[in-house]
Amino acid sequence: MILKDYQKNKIMQFLSNKIPKVKCPVCSNTKLSLSEEVFTCVGFSNSLADRDIGELPVIAATCTHCAYVLFLSAIMIGIIKTDGTWATEDDEAEGSQQVSNDVPGNPDGNVPDGRALDTIV
């Protein structure tokens, strides 16, 4: 499923609050391209019949210079709830976030003006 605008905005808000000067850990490039969908990292099992393996929903951020791919937890960002369902705009409006994105010094969680984040969506 392609992410909706409010979900993309939530990712940008999360990054602005948590990693305002995001850069590639390999080459230090500051331009990262965010995936427009949620991917899943699946737990390993040596049996195809094993249905009790974990999944980790992630947003991929790809360095536009060296192609390193960085994964960010979609649950920590608040795109996916801890029960594995999609967070909705209504969840946001009701303030029922399961993971707080509050940052000391920015208690209202607003995206600060003059972002240092140079990220492509």
Q: Which residues here bind Zn ion, judged by CB under 5 A?
A: 24, 26-27, 29, 63, 65-66, 68
Query: Which residues partner with 72 through β-bridges?
Result: 59
- Cβ neighbour number for residue 43 with a 10 Å cutoff: 10
- Closest distance to Zn ion from the beta carbon of 69 (Å): 10
From the CB of 33, what's the least distance to Zn ion, in Å? 11
Angle (CA) 18-78-76 rounded to 5° is 55
Q: In the complex with Zn ion, which residue's Cβ is closer, 27 or 53?
A: 27
Token reading at 107:
């208690």
Smallest gap from Cβ 8 to Zn ion, in A, equals 22
7 or 35, CB closer to Zn ion?
A: 35
- Residue 114 burial (CB count, 10 A): 5
